[in-house]
Amino acid sequence: MTPATAAITSLTNPRVKAAVRLRDRRERGLTGMTLVDGPRELLRALDHGIGVVEAFACDDLIRTLDAEEAVRRLQIAGSEVIQVSADVMAKVAFGDRSEGVVAVIRTPDTALDRLTLPPAPLVVIVESVEKPGNLGAILRTADGAGADAVIAADPLTDLFNPNAIRASLGTIFSVPVASDATSATLGWLETKGIRAIAARVDATTLYTDVDLHGPIAIVLGSEADGLSTGWNDPRVTAVRIPMLGTADSLNVSVAAAILLYEAVRQRT
């Protein structure tokens, strides 16, 4: 590819600085934009019609077919692809393994009432999730298990945190996602007639002894504090995953995987 104009090499270029500021959650909230880092993630975003504001590419760092394809598709879609030096890319991208292309996108709307569900949906709800890596891992597993939606209730990170996008491998663009307060989420479950199955370390019922057919939501709390009291409700079925070793809990994304794939096993 021949850049139409010379590559930006200055770290103080205003567009570069504006993109770097999007690593900050407050800035993402103010602008309604976020960063997609990595070609695979970007291809998934493009597959799902995400609005790209602009993209940064560094030809010297583009070494994979996915990266070439991502740039080509951005260009076909008429998105501006700004050539930058490797130094500038290192600043805009995260970590030291940049694959040469990063895009600024408009953050998708995550309103709960926008979710459309099939009959008998399989939903995942994760409360007070703090680490973008855990959120991304849950999204990736939810995609694998064919979940119909992932809801972040009272999240401590923004859903479209760039690190969550990256950890999800871009599946955040293919799995329907929403974010709302726990109270609103409980009301939504009631309205939709969805049974909540909540993982709790102190539950007496084994997760494998519960019927996971029909419209259900698998609910997971934070590793540090578990679920909030809102979930202490007779309509919520508490289940436990056997802990047969010395530790008292599993990683939240691992717990999500075990419950989701038990649901898949029962439902197919």
Provide the minimum distance between the beta carbon of 141 and a second copy in the complex, in angstroms, as a whole number. 5
- Closer residue to a second copy (CB): 234 or 242: 242
Please say whether the beta carbons of 240 and 208 come within 8 A: no
Residue among 56 and 207 whose Cβ is closer to a second copy: 207
Residue 203, both tokens:
């539950």
How many angstroms separate the CA atoms of 80 and 207, rounded? 49
Q: Return the H-helix or E-strand segment holding 101.
A: strand 101-106
Q: Please state the closest distance from residue 257 (CB atom) to a second copy, in A.
A: 4
User: What is the DSSP code string of 137-193?
Assistant: HHHHHHHHTT-SEEEEES-SS-TT-HHHHHHTTTGGGTS-EEEE-HHHHHHHHHHHT
| Residue ranges in contact with a second copy by CB under 8 A | 44, 47, 137, 140-147, 169, 171, 174-175, 208, 241-247, 249-251, 253-254, 257-258, 261-262, 264-265, 268
Query: What's the closest the beta carbon of residue 259 comes to a second copy, in angstroms?
Result: 9
Minimum gap (Å) between residue 95 Cβ and a second copy: 13
> From CA 28, how far away is CA 208, in angstroms rounded?
41
Minimum CB distance to a second copy, residue 243 (Å): 5
In the bound state with a second copy, the residue whose beta carbon lies nearer, of 11 and 201, is 201
Q: Which is nearer to a second copy, 84 or 260 (by Cβ)?
A: 260
Choice between 195 and 267, CB closer to a second copy: 267
Q: How far is the CB of 121 from a second copy (least distance, A)?
A: 13
- CA pair distance 221, 251, nearest whole angstrom: 11
Q: Which is nearer to a second copy, 49 or 245 (CB)?
A: 245
The answer to whether residues 93 and 37 touch, using CB atoms and an 8 Å cutoff, is yes
Given the complex with a second copy, which of 76 and 247 has the nearer CB atom?
247
Long-range contacts of 261-267 (CB under 8 A, 24+ apart): 261/145, 262/207, 262/208, 262/212, 263/122, 263/145, 263/212, 263/216, 263/218, 264/122, 264/145, 264/146, 266/211, 266/212, 266/213, 267/122, 267/212, 267/213
On whether the CB atoms of residues 169 and 105 are closer than 8 A, the answer is: no
> Which value, in Å, is the radius of gyration of the alpha carbons in the chain?
20
Q: To the nearest whole angstrom, how small is the minimum distance from the Cβ of residue 264 to a second copy? A: 6
